Amino acid sequence: MSEEKVTVDVVIPVYNEEGVLEQSISTLVAFLHARCPYDWRVVIADNASTDRTLEVAKRLSERIPEVEFIHLDEKGRGRALRRAWMESEADVVSYMDVDLSTNLEAFPPLIEALISGGYHLAIGSRLQRESVITRQLKREIFSRGYNLLIKLLFFNKFSDAQCGFKALTRQAVRELVPLVKDQGWFFDTELLLRAEQKGYEIFEVPVEWIEDLDSRVNVLQTALDDVKGLIRVRFTRS
């Protein structure tokens, strides 16, 4: 990919995040101004928030030229990413969690792998040897158990399916996203599995990651939904 006039979209999917949205976007924008040499924009993807998240997103888009927002009437992180990525005309699309639990220093190598490294997908991994992780034991067990289950079912190469820190080229989005059926948290895993089925090589960046103790994720329900999703993908082809 030529580095001239490369465009990058950073999507932030949000649901009821009025308390942290403004600070997180301000931090992200400051980082991108300092460290991202390409033409970039931040897209807040509000998926059916019931608090003042949409109002905050609108205010940020009015105040910061590089910030835009979209609103979905139905909840679902996968649904929000699908719409934001499919509507994007950027050369590279990415996403990260609104809590910025992944240290932003991992973002430049994530993007460079796509722009100059020849990859079409890049992901942050909390399970690389160089990664530095702070989280509760329960979440650690769930995460490692889930990724081990994926290995047993698919013999996949990537190490961490659900770290909220990923980037794709426009080509990868156009080919892979229509193949993904899930609209929720399993979206990430299905995307990566479909990518490997199609022969894509996935670049992994070790990250520094701190668990958000105010997370909206229902760990048990998400785990059950993920197992159902794995079974579905295991017995269907793209």
Question: Catalytic positions, please?
Answer: 188
Q: Which amino acid is at 205?
A: V
Q: What are phi and psi of 75, to 5 degrees?
A: -80, 155
Other Cβ atoms closer than 10 A to 74: 9
Question: Hey, what's the torsion of the CAs at 133, 139, 145, 147, to 10 degrees?
Answer: -50
Other Cβ atoms closer than 10 A to 110: 23
- For residues 100 and 180, the answer to whether their CB atoms sit within 8 Å is no
Joined together, the tokens standing for residue 218 give 């229902």
Helix (H, G, I), strand (E, B) or coil at 6: coil
Work out the burial of residue 23: count CB atoms within 10 Å of its CB; fewer than 13 is exposed, 13-18 middle, 19 or more buried: exposed
- Give kind and range of the element (H or E) at residue 54: helix 53-63
Whole-number Å distance between alpha carbons of 177 and 70 = 18
Q: Which amino acid is at 25?
A: I
- For residues 195 and 176, the answer to whether their CB atoms sit within 8 Å is yes
* CA-closest candidate to residue 122, choices 82, 150, 163: 163
